Amino acid sequence: MPFIANTDAERADMLAAIGVSQIGDLFHDVPEGYRYPTLDLPEALSELEALRELGALAAENENLDEVSSFLGAGAYRHFIPSVVDFLAGRSEFYTAYTPYQPEVSQGTLQAIFEYQSMIAALTGMEAANASHYDGATATAEAVIMALNAVKGKRSRVVLSPTLHPMFREVVRTYTQGMGLDIVGDHEKDADFHALLALCDANTACVVVQNPDFLGTIHSPSELQDLADAVHARGALLAVAVDPISLGLLTPPGQYGADIVMGEGQALGIPLSFGGPYLGFFAMRESNLRKSAGRIAGETVDADGQRGYVLTLSTREQHIKRSRATSNICSNQALMALRAAIYLAVMGKKGLRSVAEQCYHKAQYAATRISMIPGYQIVNRGPFFKEFVVRCPLPVDETKDHLLVQWGILPGYDLTTEYPDLGQCLLVCVTEMTTREEIDALAEALAEVADLAAEETE
Amino acid sequence: MSYQYDPNARYAKTHDWVRMEEGLAVCGISDYAQHALSDVVYIELPEIGAELIQGEVYTTVESVKAAEEVYAPVSGKVVDVNPDLADTPEQLNSEPYAAWIIKVAPSNPEELDALMLADAYEAFVQAEEAGGH
Amino acid sequence: MTEPTVYQLSSPGRHGPTLPALDVPLAPLPDAQFLRAADALPLPELSELDVVRHFVRLSQKNMSIDTTFYPLGSCTMKYNPKINEKVAGLSGFTNLHPLQDADMTQGAMQVLLELQVYLAEISGFAAITLQPAAGAQGELTGVLIMRAYHLDRGDVKRTKILVPDSAHGTNPATTTMAGLQVVELPSDSRGNVDLVALKTALDDTVAGLMLTNPNTLGLFEEHVLDVTRLVHEAGGLVYGDGANLNAIIGIAKPAELGIDVMHFNLHKTFSTPHGGGGPGAGPVGVVEKLAPFLPGPLVTVEMDEEMAGLLAAGHEHALHEHDHYRLAWYTPSKSIGRVRSYWGQFGVLVRAYTYIRMHGAEGLRRIAENAVLNANYIKARLLAEGSYPVAFAGRTCMHEFVAQGILAGAPDIHTMDIAKRLMDYGYHPPTVYFPLIVKEALMIEPTETESKATLDAFADALIQIAQEAREQPALLKEAPHAAETKRLDEVRAARELILCRC
Determine the Cα–Cα distance for residues C398 and C381; give it in Å rounded to an integer: 15
Radius of gyration of the CA atoms of chain C, in A = 26
Which one, of C277, C206, C200, C280, lies nearest residue C243 by Cα?
Answer: C280
Chains touching A (at least 3 CB pairs under 8 A) are: B, C
Residue C7: per-residue pLDDT: 98
For A44-120, list the strands marked E by DSSP.
68-69
Q: Is A361 in contact with A395 (CB distance < 8 Å)? A: no
Question: Which class for C453: exposed (0-12), middle (13-18), buried (19 or more C-beta within 10 A)?
Answer: exposed
C346-385 vs A8-18: helix crossing angle, rounded to 10: 50
Q: What is the pLDDT of residue C320?
A: 64
Q: How far is C232 from chain A (nearest CA, A)?
A: 18
Read off the pLDDT of each residue in B28-53 and give the average, rounded to a whole number.
93
Report which of C167, C134, C163 is spatially closest to residue C434, judged by C-alpha positions.
C167
Q: Do the beta carbons of residue A215 and residue A379 sit within 8 Å?
A: yes
Q: What percent of chain A shows pLDDT beyond 70?
A: 100
SS3 assignment, position A201? coil
pLDDT at B133: 41
Note whether B42 contacts C433, CB cutoff 8 Å: no
C277-324 pLDDT, tens digit per residue, is 999 999 999 999 999 999 999 999 988 787 778 777 777 667 666 567
Helix (H), strand (E) counts: chain C:
15, 12
Whether A289 sits inside 8 A of B44 (CB atoms) is yes
C490–chain A Cβ distance below 8 A for any pair: yes
Contact yes or no for C358/C80 (Cβ under 8 A): no
- Report how far residue C282's alpha carbon sits from residue A413's, in angstroms, rounded to the nearest whole number: 30
Sheet strands side by side (includes B51-52): B10-11, B16-21, B24-29, B102-106, B76-81, B51-52
Residue C241's nearest CA partner among C164, C330, C308, C133 is: C164
What is the three-state SS of chain A?
CCCCCCCHHHHHHHHHHHCCCCHHHHHCCCCHHHCCCCCCCCCCCCHHHHHHHHHHHHHCCCCCCCCEECCCCCCCCCCCCHHHHHHHCCHHHHCCCCCCCHHHEHHHHHHHHHHHHHHHHHHCCCEECCCECCHHHHHHHHHHHHHHHCCCCCCEEEECCCCCHHHHHHHHHHCCCCCCEEECCCCCCCCHHHHHHHCCCCEEEEEEECCCCCCECCCHHHHHHHHHHHHHCCCEEEEECCHHHHHCECCHHHHCCCEEEEECCCCCCCCHHHCCCCEEEEECHHHHHHCCCCEEEEEEECCCCEEEEEECHHHCHHHHHHHCCCCCCCCCHHHHHHHHHHHHHHHHHHHHHHHHHHHHHHHHHHHHHHCCCCCEECCCCCECCEEEEECCCCHHHHHHHHHHHHCEECCEECCCCCHHHCCEEEEECCCCCCHHHHHHHHHHHHHHHHHHHHHHC
Exposure on the CB side of residue C374, measured as CA atoms within 13 A: 33
Beta-carbon contacts of residue C403 (< 8 Å; ≥ 6 apart): C379, C382, C388, C389, C390, C391, C430, C441, C442, C443, C444, C462
Q: Looking at the predicted structure, is the pLDDT value of residue A2 above 90?
A: no
Rg (CA), chain A: 26
Do the chains contact at C494 and B89, CB–CB below 8 Å? no
Return d(Cα B88, Cα B78) in angstroms, integer: 21
Identify the H or E element spanning A369: helix A333-370
State how far residue A212 is from chain B, nearest Cα, in angstroms: 37
CB hemisphere CA count around A83 (13 angstroms): 22
Cβ contact (<8 Å) for B41 and C495?
yes
Residues in contact with A410: Cβ distance below 8 Å, sequence separation at least 6, in sequence order: A70, A398, A399, A402, A425, A427, A441, A444, A445
| Predicted local confidence at residue C433, as pLDDT | 93
User: Could you give the CA distance from residue C465 to residue C404 in angstroms, rounded to a whole number?
Assistant: 13
3-class secondary-structure state, position C228: helix
Beta carbons of A293 and A141 less than 8 angstroms apart = yes
pLDDT in tens, A7-37: 999 999 999 999 999 999 999 999 999 999 9
Interface of chain B toward chain A, CB-CB under 8 angstroms = 41-42, 44, 62-67
Q: Which of the residues A100, A314, A322 would you substitute to probe the B interface, choosing the one with the greatest number of B C-beta atoms within 10 Å?
A: A314
| Predicted pLDDT of residue B131 | 67
**pLDDT at site C305:** 80
Return the bridge partners of A310, or none. Answer: A296
Neighbours of chain C (3+ CB pairs under 8 A): A, B
Q: How far is residue A388 CA from its own chain's centroid?
A: 21
Beta strand A408-409 with A68-69: parallel, antiparallel or unpaired? parallel
Nearest chain C Cα distance for residue B41, angstroms: 5
Alpha helix locations (H) across C425-478?
A: 452-471, 473-477
| Residue among C307, C264, C308, C314 at smallest CA distance from C285 | C264
pLDDT tens over chain C, length 502 residues: 799 999 999 999 999 999 999 999 999 999 999 999 878 899 999 999 999 999 999 999 999 999 999 999 999 999 999 999 999 999 999 999 999 999 999 999 999 999 999 999 999 999 999 999 999 999 999 999 999 999 999 999 999 999 999 999 999 999 999 999 999 999 999 999 999 999 999 999 999 999 999 999 999 999 999 999 999 999 999 999 999 999 999 999 999 999 999 999 999 999 999 999 999 999 999 999 999 999 999 999 988 787 778 777 777 667 666 567 899 999 999 999 999 999 999 999 999 999 999 999 999 999 999 999 999 999 999 999 999 999 999 999 999 999 999 999 999 999 999 999 999 999 999 999 999 899 999 999 999 999 999 999 999 999 999 999 999 999 999 999 999 999 999 999 999 999 999 8
Partner chains of B (3+ C-beta pairs under 8 Å): A, C
The larger pLDDT score, comparing residue B62 to residue A454, is at: B62
